[in-house]
Amino acid sequence: MKSAWTLSLFPTPSVEGVEFTPFRPGIERGNIYFDPETGASTAFLRYHPGASVPRHRHDGYEHIVILEGEQSDDDGTYAAGQVLVHAPGSSHRVWTKTGCLVLAIWERPVVFVDE
């Protein structure tokens, strides 16, 4: 694991060198770190057009930075440059019509409730 990560958000985000693996149908995950003791993790998620994530609950904070494209959830649609914070105890579904790239930071793993 690298001791430090840098990310260039402007003018265009670059995930060069990040290894993406299948995560869910239509979604790939590029892990930055995972703490096996707490479940805390950070990853890039690359959604292909039409991809979705079923309803899930957050047992810790989730921070999402939309890097490219648009992502939607139960509360709205968010474009590149927007930052979302989901508090512990919150739940939502996520989808994208256009596809998107996001940076996701989880304090604890999510719990899927609609599978």
Q: Is the pLDDT of residue 1 over 50?
A: no
> So what's the pLDDT on residue 2?
47
Percent of the chain residues past pLDDT 70, beyond the cut: 89
> So what's the pLDDT on residue 102?
96
Express each pLDDT in 90-99 by its tens digit. Answer: 999 999 999 9
Calpha distance 104→86 (Å, rounded): 11
CATH topology of domain 45-112: Jelly Rolls (2.60.120)
- Domain chopping of the chain, boundaries: 45-112
pTM of the model: 0.87
Better-scored residue on pLDDT, 6 or 1 = 6
Express each pLDDT in 35-63 by its tens digit. Answer: 999 999 999 999 999 999 999 999 999 99
